[in-house]
Amino acid sequence: MAENDIILRSLDLFKEAFPGRINQILKSKEGGKKIVGTLCLYVPDELIYACGADRVILCGGRSAPIEAAEEYLPRNLCPLIKSSFGSVIDQKCSKTKSCPHFGMVDLIVAEATCDGKKKMYELLDKYIPTHVMDLPQKPENQNALEYYIKELESLKDVLENLTGNKITDTQLRNEIKSANETRKLLRAIYELRKSDSPPIRGTEILKVVQQMHFLSPDEFKKNLVLLLDELNVTKREFSGPRIMISGCPMAAGNMKVPEIIENQGGLIVVEESCTGTRAFWDLVDENKEPMRAIAERYLKIPCACMYPNERRINQILQLAGDFNVDGVVYYTLQFCHGYNVEKYRVGEALKKSGIPLLSIESDYSGADTEQIKTRVDAFLEMLE
């Protein structure tokens, strides 16, 4: 067996986890546990777990639910929004049942990020009760942090009403500690990707990160420990032009662009994405008052809905240097104006550092696969 064909058991554990997790959610729901659905990184998991609820991510990465969604939503809308909404109404219509967890959710905790999502949430509330948390979109503003803390306090009330449990500082501190452990494990795995011949492909790690907000924290952490152990002892070495993917999230089911990059010979060494570093890069300060510490950490997430967003540009440059990338594939979902417009500034900053950028805007269909392949081929050839 070639070294790179060595199968990592831990990766299979992530792949095989879906049915077990669905059963676990079902059982805990029967036992009276409340299930909270989320669609964005700005909603702190720590609060949800501290009140004794469970959490599942509802971001849609599959194309199948989009047709149902387009009966309500415009066609020219981000596929992630349509897929998420379609998965909820599909459950209610009992059409596919391919994502049964959408139908098990008691409350959606949504967030005021992009316009498309906000308007979709108004419709979503008719299917599943939806609490929309406001966000200060100028995070450097003097009052932004205090405002966000107030929104988190309101969320705390909503969650306590849902579950009938009080959220104590001790529980919050425990959840912060646990979430930080997960973040540190992911960072340790990403450290290995900095080497000249990383032991894991981007398409492999992406499938792991896609599970981060779906699996229970304990199961996710346990599998990460195994993965890190295996990566440390197994002699796998990958090579190829070193690529960073930067831009929109790649929710579970959406693997088109990363698969093309790696099938055509590139090696993704880092993802500046909500299905990548944005999900775990910063820790919550365990020495501060917990609500403030949570607010400080989450407000730092550099989503393109924020203004101004120097933080994201600086982070991209930092990651490009740390992971020694040869080129950046800037990935935008169709009709995602925030990431699409921000591309110009990212491109300018990378140009100054001598790092080429390939921009790909796509949806969840396979219609543009051949065209993307041709463009990726040309880009990789230029990097070699």
Cβ-count burial 98-136 (b if 16+ within 10 Å, e if not): ebebbbbbbbbbbbbbbebbeebbeebeebbebbbbebb
Q: Give yes or no for residue 333 binding ligand BJ8 (CB under 6 A).
A: yes
Binder to ligand BJ8 among 10, 83, 91, 113 (CB under 6 A)? 113
Compute the distance between CA of residue 55 and CA of residue 237 in angstroms, rounded to an integer: 35
Burial (CB < 10 A; 0-12, 13-18, 19+), residue 162, is: buried
Interface region with ligand BJ8, contact rule CB under 6 A, candidates 3-11, 74-82, 96-104, 321-329: 74-82
Interface region with ligand BJ8, contact rule CB under 6 A, candidates 13-21, 98-106, 114-122, 307-315: 114-122
The crossing angle, in degrees rounded to 10, of helices 290-299 and 169-192 is 40
Binder to ligand BJ8 among 42, 49, 330, 364 (CB under 6 A)? 42
Provide, rounded to whole angstroms, the least separation between the CB of residue 235 and ligand BJ8. 35
Nearer to ligand BJ8, 248 or 295 (CB): 248
Residue type at position 329: V
Nearer to ligand BJ8, 223 or 254 (CB): 254
Provide, rounded to whole angstroms, the least separation between the CB of residue 302 and ligand BJ8. 8
Binder to ligand BJ8 among 25, 53, 68, 78 (CB under 6 A)? 78
Tokens 């803390």, residue located:
149
Q: Give yes or no for residue 47 binding ligand BJ8 (CB under 6 A).
A: no
Check: CB of residue 261 under 8 Å from CB of residue 329: yes
Residues 227-256 as x/- pattern, contact with ligand BJ8 by CB under 6 A: ---------------------xx-------
> Residues 141, 144, 149, CA angle at the centre, nearest 5°?
165
Q: Give yes or no for residue 299 binding ligand BJ8 (CB under 6 A).
A: no
Residues 158-177 that bind ligand BJ8 (CB under 6 A): none
Torsion of CA 126, 129, 134, 137, to 10 degrees: -60
Check: CB of residue 234 under 8 Å from CB of residue 199: yes
Cβ-count burial 356-367 (b if 16+ within 10 Å, e if not): ebbbbbbbbeee
Q: Give yes or no for residue 65 binding ligand BJ8 (CB under 6 A).
A: no
Residues that bind ligand BJ8 (CB under 6 A): 40-42, 78, 80-81, 113-114, 116-117, 248-249, 274, 301, 303, 305, 333, 336, 338-339
